[in-house]
Amino acid sequence: MAITNVDLGERSYPIFIEPASLNQKDKLAPYIHGNQAMIVTNETIAPLYLDALQAALPFTADVVILPDGEAYKDLEHFNQILTALIEKRHSRKTTLIALGGGVVGDMTGFAAAAYQRGVNFIQVPTTLLSQVDSSVGGKTGVNHPLGKNMIGAFKQPQAVLIDPHVFRTLPERELSAGMAEVIKYGLIYDADFFAWLEANAAKMMALDLDACIYAIQRACEIKAEVVAKDETEQGIRAWLNLGHTFGHAIEAHMGYGQWLHGEAVAAGTMQALDLSKRLGWIDQTVIDRTQALFEICKLPVKPPAMTRDEFLKYMAVDKKVIDGTLRLVLLEQLGKATVTADFSAAQLNATLDETIA
């Protein structure tokens, strides 16, 4: 078993990475406060893992089952969680448990932040993407038709329980989407990890358990270190958004769920690297290596058919726009990112024109 801790003082919490841990009764009990709990999951995950999670809890929890997909990550379905909590008379001592991917985790965490001004919650992520990214760090929220994750709160969980055995039921497309976020950590923070992924990504796609566990652990270690330094994204934590401003534009334009988040991030990362090269920070070798790695993982390396103006419209409402100025996460070198507005409109337009399919 691998254990990584997110060091946030009194709000620190563990990340457990262990095969079959979803079935272990002693794992979550210490993090459930009081005698109430509510599991939030979706229609895909509930038939697979809900019974196992219920059996692992010290008492039977209430359940909310949401429809599956990014299209339902909105205020309407967020309100279903709050309504269930009120109808079942949950108190401030309740614990919410997110059983699912990033959509379920984000919505459950936001509900935990909002219900009675804050209750405890636990993350049990069931996709690679949620295990290495969204379940760690406390970013929660829902989408708005005009922008992704524009409504939310920072809310740290009490614990994160990662069971790599869930990959047995994970569609290959979802596995690929998670690899986009794994590769991101190598690009922005750890060039050695990037090189390890070049040698081992094919093993991960074949569900080699040792390779998957190592990659999850290293990604979580990096995320935990970054979050400990910058919990509310005032500085280095923004590095984690490499490719995301471009990617969020793709998701918003296509309609949430048409492109998976990781697919949009992969295409967006290639656009960010193109702009990084135009600024003279990286050379074509970094772009070629990244494209090859994305292709091993069956990820898109170009966005869908969109116009430059469509990209710019959605990028203008990104959370990294401050005082009307668009800032982007770009790559200074392999293993080091930066947040910058130091690019011209002409350079950004050239990147968009070059990379649009």
Active-site positions read 117, 139, 181, 223, 233, 237, 241, 244, 248, 261
| DSSP 8-state secondary structure symbol assigned to residue 23 | G
Whether the CB-CB separation of 40 and 108 falls below 8 Å is answered with yes
CA distance 123 to 156: 10
H or E, element range at 95: strand 95-100
Beta pairing partners, 16: 3, 161
Half-sphere exposure of 298 (CA within 13 A, CB side): 13
Token digits of residue 327 = 């800032």
CA distance 176 to 308: 27
| Amino acid at residue number 335 | G
Sequence-distant (≥ 6) Cβ neighbours of residue 357 within 8 angstroms: 302, 303, 304, 305, 306
Q: In what order do the strands lie in the sheet containing 120-125?
A: 2-6, 13-17, 160-162, 120-125, 95-100, 37-42, 62-66
* Chain Cα centroid distance, residue 161: 15
CA distance 174 to 294: 14
Instruction: Count the helix, strand and coil residues of the chain and give each as a percent rounded to the nearest 5.
Output: 50, 20, 30
User: Measuring CA to CA, which residue among 147, 144, 74 is closest to residue 111?
Assistant: 74
Q: How far is CA 167 from CA 127, 205, 296, in A?
A: 7, 10, 18
CA distance 192 to 197: 9
CA distance 147 to 318: 7
